Structure 1
Amino acid sequence: MSDIRPIAPIDTTGLKPAMPLTALPKCELVDPQELFVDGSYQRSIGERGHRQIRRMIQRFCWTRFKPPICAYGQHEGKRVLMVLDGQHTAIAAASNPNVDLIPVMIVDAPETSAQAAAFVGQNTDRLAVTPLQLHQAAVVAQDEDAVTVEQVCQRAGVTVLKGPAGNGRYRARETIAVTTVSGLVERQTAMGARRILEVLANADLAPVTGHHIRAAEYLMTNKDYCQKFEPQDLTTAISELFLTAEDDAKVMSHAHRWPFWKALAVVWFRKTKKRRLHLRVAA
């Protein structure tokens, strides 16, 4: 079924729509190496930023490109374009020898104070893209990693939601912990991740949280625990403890200063039926 919908205005009853106080922005092609950044209100690029820029250089594609927002300002007596939003994008483009010009959107903010206000607006007057939204878009785009995560969840009986439950009520086997699931697949391979998620899905957790996933992974992969129980017995323990496990884990986490997921794993393990150890007796 198609999910294509037109852009339509919402009901503005009770609102007073603002009249734009500046000129309409214009778009131009510029050399990214001719752009400037004002350090008085924009942070310098740290280690994390450099890693992001390197990824952008390696994956550079116009379909991923967001034009930086710029405004004309003064630097050493010259009129230059200042980047208000998108300095990582501009640096990545300037670093790519295959890119000569980039489109930028130029807004009317000639003073530093106006540029700083525009920077704040660009970074507050928008909704951040969530990991769930990125995952769903990546699945539609047939991104290999995202498709693998989706397939692992489906085969384990876990449903990845498109967003948090509107009323806060989740159904059994639903999850929004897509980042944790992705890390699980990366660490344990698709098959290993599926085995772990199946244990949680079969316990009918609602929802399957990141803490649940971390706790189950710890028990099913740590050499001190994984050989002492059957996966189905861990599922049974989780089901039987669904009313008390998290409260007990909070107490244990505080007492031992453990991460919550680790305390939860220990609570589950104590309840789980243990395997019988068969000792071979020499003839």
Structure 2
Amino acid sequence: MSPQIRPAAVAGAFYPALPAVLAREVRTLLAQSSATEADAAPPKALVVPHAGYVYSGPVAATAYARLQSWRDRIRRVVLLGPVHRVPVRGLALPGVQAFATPLGAVPVDADAVAALADLPQVVQSPAAHAWEHALEVQLPFLQAVLGEGFTLVPLAVGDASSEEVAQVLERLWGGAETLIVVSSDLSHYHPYAQARRIDAEAVRTMLDLQPMLDHEQACGATPLNGLLLAARRHHLRPELLDLRNSGDTAGDRSRVVGYAALSFTEPDHARPHAVA
């Protein structure tokens, strides 16, 4: 594969490697989603989990199902997630022209990359992206709901302030053509009941647009806090779509990982929000 294409690194582990099997699994997850498209407002931003599909796929699907009505207008996806393997200072671009999955290649938005060139917190790190799953696992969902008509701005977020992340989002905010997606799981490896309490508090923080999450609450706390700061400034309205954990989706409740799906809409599309 061309060095200008970042190949799929976790196909066959986090999600199926065979194109037909992957496409069928994503379609099934979307079809089973509890999200109701008919009255859904167009999202400006989504928060989605990033575990293996058997664990977090049903939760992620509730968010991605919201995009199916808007596939003809979303042309750029700004995708942020935490680094799990390679530390980085700031927000790292991959230095490639496309990201590949078994469903095809998604082009990186060259104009958006150029627009970030003067920001000191934006760096280039192919290593940070090479084996990072947090961004990759979102791509088959995006390919399924948006088709081939979108470009990607993939940012692996390491050591950065909320303000630094928000500044990048502001630079790329755009209009209806731009969707922001933040990839994050919630609490890790607590017993089921404890995890539910921790995750409910994290969701309340997000619904209140408070950029105060820590990494015990969410592995993607850094990009999440930047999104919450930007969302507050733009008066976005949050909505909880789903909140579960691996004990709900995969059975074992002794040590679970939390997953949430949230949508953030422009003020003109206000909807009430609540958390159980």
Same topology, TM > 0.5: no
Greater helix proportion = 1
TM-score, with structure 1 as normaliser: 0.25
Question: Highest CA radius of gyration, 1 or 2?
Answer: 1
TM-score, with structure 2 as normaliser: 0.25
